[in-house]
Amino acid sequence: MPDRPEVTAVEIARLAGVGRAAVSNWRRRHPDFPRPVGGTDSSPAFALAEVETWLRSQGKIAELPLLERVWRLVETLRDPAGHPAAPLVQAGAVLLLHHREPAQWAALAEQPDTRLATALPRALADTARTVLGADGAADLRRSGLLGSTELDLARLLARLAADTDPAGAFELLLTRYAEANTRQLAPTPPEAAELLAAVAGDAAAVLDPATGLGALLLALAPTTDRHGQDADPVTTALARLRLALHAPATDAVPLPVDLRPGDALRADAHPGRTFDAVLCQPPYNERDWGHDELQFDRRWPGGLVPPRGESELAWVLHCLAHTRPGGLAALLLPPTVAARRAGRRVRAELLRSGALRAVVALPAGAAPPYGVPLHLWVLRAPRPGDDFRQVLMLDAASTSPGSAEVAEGGRDKVRWPELRRTVLDAWQAFDLAAREGLPLPPDRPGRHRTVAAIDLLDDETDLSPARHVPPAAPLGGAAGLSHLGGRLTELLAGLADPATLLPDPTGDSTADPSGVAASEAGAGVGAGVGAGAGHGPVVTLGELVRSGLLEVHSSGTGAPTRPAGADPTGTPVLTDHDLVTGGAPGAVLDRAAAADGGPLTRPGDVLVPALGGGVARVVGPAGPPVGAALGRQLHLLRPDPAALDPDFLAGHLRSTAAARRAASHASTTTRLDIRRVELPRLPIAEQRRLGAAFARLAAFDATLQQAAALGRTLTQAATDALAAGTAAPPSSL
């Protein structure tokens, strides 16, 4: 492994917030650009320290963020032949020392590196053994002697833990790891984990047989007796450290956490043992799950072996086998499990036994894979004499009953408070009635319905909620349709009046061909004058930045975020998607990232997607919100309003000429090289006049999009009303 952090051209582009093609241009145009120190001819690697120094000297980056420096050291310590997450185990052990023994680290930090190299491993071992127990500590696989890179990592982790807290620092590292290994790891988001934990209620002992990074166990109360298993030993160690870091430092040790490595289907670590609740998001679509060697396993009811292509149902039966009679099992499953023909017999057995109690359709984006609307299955292990045979079918995928709107895919778009309330209200009322023998809650068209198990037993035994929940009444009825029609008429009337939204097409040019007021416009920065089409001399945004009249902030991949519903008081985060669609931010800044101190939007700022696309919006009442952080792939431009009008700047950024002249091309994408954008050198008064015209055009476009969205809603609502027979065709037909 390298003895110093290295970065590829792609990673350099991410650090600087530019496209990969820009890095290639820098290498060709700048003889002082750092030379490769490794990698291959097609993918060279560069020393991070040299790259950071060069970027800083060129004004392309002020300082490498602390998290990025930590991550580079983690990448440096990774053994190409080993597990990619192995260095994170060591990082987690260091953070656990900060969490449990901060005074001990303070004493060790004063030691010279030669002494720290041997003293720190002993301290890490003692802390892990105390907090995790002997078995848990043994799985961390620590080294007895640390090298210089490992000591550098320990010192940077101390700074990162001080900026946030040890648990928050570890969460940032796990997020980076998960983002870099999406094919191998798809952690359950905390909101989905909290929903499953709430469904389970006050369970004293809980099992997660596919633990992953421990999100489901982390959502439980710290006093819960938590058990888990995962096929990957390194992932198991990370989950153990994660749970320990989130436990209060004052909790008694060793912690009540029992995590074991191994394949839960092939090598069950808890044979014959049952728990109050079992929570699980199992791996999906596994062909080699052990079908042949598990033909006579005791977990299959009545010897009914799940088909080879139904690995998810094998996990359902595994979870049910580990649930005590009357206990609860909750699993996140793909929607195909509810309807695939191969699994019909297993689904029928779950219905006949009374084990299956609820199937909940969740919106796309609730959990990975984020493009798929998953189902939540809730089961209760049968008790002797329990003859309850009803199933709650709950469709929580739409935003509200009767709405034509369906929740938009993507984890940042899920309305978690509303979703949580919808699921828990329906499930808890149904479950209470089932356990206490009370009348079942009434059905709610468009949302949920209670179905007798015998009515589901047919040739398909399809358990998809959409098949069984009756549709809701059309949106708003006749009065609602009339209101939507009136609102659309108002918008269309406004669009039809060009005097209110469009500039005068016969007005004179506002150009100043002589450029006599260039200094007033803030463009008097020496050379850099080119041919402007109809406006005379031009100046690039790069020149305005160097003259101090414009600030440019690029977000790159953006700061870690959480869905907005998880923290309504958090700092909103704008993404490139929000900017393009004009929607409200769907995420808030992660608490651990709030300390990084990135720029927040101010009135008069201009936001542009890094990929261009003819979009540029001015922050203010009619545009993006004030006080928002930058999400992925955004540029924030902050002009000096006395020299550069924001609407004038945004209008030129939306022009076709700006996109064509300032585009940089990578292998598969086109990016906007923001510093190459050209502006005419005009007096500030003329800029404001042009800016007002640009602003009216932007308002026209926004109104047009609003009318289109309202028209789609009205069309869908009218279609539903005609189909349901609650509205009649127009009298003219």
Q: Which helix (H) or strand (E) holds 450?
A: strand 448-452
Residues 6+ apart with CB under 8 A from 271: none
Q: Is the pLDDT score of 492 beyond 60?
A: yes
**Among 6-20, 430-444, 519-533, 618-632, which stretch is predicted with the lowest mean pLDDT?**
519-533
Q: Quote the CA–CA distance of 589 and 632 in Å, as a whole number.
A: 12
- Burial (0-12, 13-18, 19+ Cβ within 10 Å), 83: middle
Percent of the chain at pLDDT above 70? 85
**What's the token pair of residue 110?**
């004063």
**Among 397-401, 478-482, 618-622, which stretch is predicted with the lowest mean pLDDT?**
397-401
Q: Is the pLDDT score of 409 beyond 70?
A: no
Q: Quote the CA–CA distance of 34 and 13 in Å, as a whole number.
A: 14
> First CA to last CA across the chain, in angstroms?
77
- In which order are the strands placed within the sheet that holds 587-589? 561-563, 587-589, 572-574, 629-630
3-state helix, strand, coil in the chain (%, to 5): 45, 15, 40
pLDDT for 225 equals 94
Which stretches does DSSP call E strand in 257-302? 257-261, 275-280
Residues 6+ apart with CB under 8 A from 44: 8, 9, 36, 38
pLDDT for 477 equals 64
Q: What is the pLDDT of the chain when averaged over all its residues? A: 84
- Burial (0-12, 13-18, 19+ Cβ within 10 Å), 126: middle
Residue positions counted in the chain: 733
Q: At 107, is the pLDDT very low, low, confident or very high (cuts 50, 70, 90)?
A: very high
pLDDT for 731 equals 72
Sign of CA dihedral 681, 683, 687, 690: negative
Q: Quote the CA–CA distance of 50 and 55 in Å, as a whole number.
A: 9
Q: Quote the CA–CA distance of 577 and 365 in Å, as a whole number.
A: 15
Q: Quote the CA–CA distance of 717 and 720 in Å, as a whole number.
A: 5
Q: Is the pLDDT score of 184 beyond 90?
A: no
- Residue whose C-alpha is closest to residue 358's, from 418, 425, 439, 416: 425
Q: Which helix (H) or strand (E) holds 716?
A: helix 684-724
Q: At 19, is the pLDDT very low, low, confident or very high (cuts 50, 70, 90)?
A: confident
Helix (H, G, I), strand (E, B) or coil at 396: coil
Q: At 535, is the pLDDT very low, low, confident or very high (cuts 50, 70, 90)?
A: low
Taking only the tens place, the pLDDT of each residue in 221-266 is 888 999 999 999 999 999 999 999 999 999 888 888 999 999 999 9
Q: Is the pLDDT score of 684 beyond 50?
A: yes
Q: Quote the CA–CA distance of 244 and 238 in Å, as a whole number.
A: 10
Average of pLDDT values for 502-513?
Answer: 47
pLDDT for 231 equals 94
- Residue whose C-alpha is closest to residue 658's, from 609, 689, 612: 612
Average of pLDDT values for 515-543?
Answer: 52
Q: Phi, psi (5° rounding) for residue 695? A: -65, -40
Residues 6+ apart with CB under 8 A from 312: 282, 284, 285, 331, 333, 334, 337
Helix (H, G, I), strand (E, B) or coil at 385: coil
pLDDT for 399 equals 52
What's this model's pTM, rounded to 2 decimal places?
0.70
Q: Is the pLDDT score of 523 beyond 50?
A: no
Taking only the tens place, the pLDDT of each residue in 28-59 is 899 999 999 988 888 898 988 888 888 888 87
User: In this structure, how many other beta carbons lie within 10 angstroms of the beta carbon of residue 357?
Assistant: 22
pLDDT for 425 equals 95
538 neighbors 532 (Cβ within 8 angstroms): yes
pLDDT for 475 equals 59
633 neighbors 609 (Cβ within 8 angstroms): yes
Q: Quote the CA–CA distance of 582 and 16 in Å, as a whole number.
A: 26
Q: Phi, psi (5° rounding) for residue 441? A: -65, 150
